[in-house]
Structures are given as C-alpha cells and as structure tokens.
Amino acid sequence: MREALWRSAIVHFLKCFGNGVRFQLAPQKLYEGEPPEALLAFNYFKCLRNKHLVHDENSYAQSIPGAVLNNGKKEYKIEKIVCFSAIGATLEQGNYGNLKLLIQKARAWVAPEFDALCERLAAKLEKESYEKLLARDALTYRVPTIDDIPHTRKSP
C-alpha cells in the first residue's frame, strides 16, 4: 500500500507539469530562486515517473529469465525455467523529503497565483451588466458515465 501511495503521489504531482489540455506549471518559473537541487530533484521525479512508474523503460524494473540445470544425472538437462523479478526501491527518506518539499513549494506558489487570477476575473466580470451575467451558462456538473472513459474531457 505504501508503494501504491508513493507512486500515486509522484504521478499526480507531475500531472501539474504535463503537456495536457489544462494549464501547466513551469518548473523553472516555480522553483526560480530555489537552490539548484530543487530542479535536480524535480527532474529526478519526472524521469522516475516517465521511465519507471508509468512507462517502465529503465532498469528500475527487471525480469530476467533463466534455466536451472539439474545435476547431470537425469535424462533431461533443464530442471526448471525461472524468472527473477526485481523492482528498484525509490521510497526512501531522502526521496520522500524531496517530494514533500517540491509539493509544498508548488502549493505555496499556486495558491497566490490562483487568488490573483480570481481577482482579475472578478474585476472583469464586475464591468458587465446583471443581464449579461445572468445570460451566461450556469455552473453545471454532469456525472460521468462509462461511455466517457475513452473520450477527452471538453474544455469549457
């Protein structure tokens, strides 16, 4: 369970920096002024996510097949086919601390940015008449269905 939560934390943290349809955070801007180790740690987690946790392309996960030979006194040579599997551990105190610091810094940067954006939007909307404001689409939520699974969410 710890490993699943660890992987989920890394994947969901890095979604904020992806190339999806939503607004993306820029790590160079967000961690500007921080020690250079901050971007090194960020890039470590990005590579860990991209090459191990999500796409499984590096040596952190390995499966090595092999054949176990018998002692040579049987009519067959191969006693058993085996597969050695190993996954490199990444949940350790140093990595946990680095991820926690990166997340805290990101949250501390995002909160005032969000508040400032809300203030700009409110000021812009304040200039409109009640009639125009009431004519805008209402805030609605549609519960997703199984048919929505293969489709990209529509932007408002």
pLDDT one-digit tens code per residue, 48-80:
999 999 998 999 999 999 999 999 999 999 999
Residue 39 pLDDT exceeds 70: yes
- The two tokens of residue 105 are 């810094």
**Lowest-confidence segment of 8-22, 30-44, 46-60, 134-148 by average pLDDT:** 8-22
Asked if residue 23 lies in contact with residue 156, where contact means CB atoms within 8 angstroms, the answer is no
Q: What is the mean pLDDT of residues 2-28?
A: 89
User: Using CA atoms, how far apart are residues 93 and 128, in angstroms rounded to an integer?
Assistant: 53
Look over the chain and give the mean of its residue pLDDT values, rounded to a whole number. Answer: 93
What are the counts of helices (DSSP H) followed by strands (DSSP E) for the chain? 5, 2
Q: Which two tokens stand for residue 54?
A: 């999500």
Q: Say how far apart CA 51 and CA 45 lie, in whole Å.
A: 10
pLDDT at 23: 73
Query: How confident is the model over 40-54, as a mean pLDDT?
Result: 95
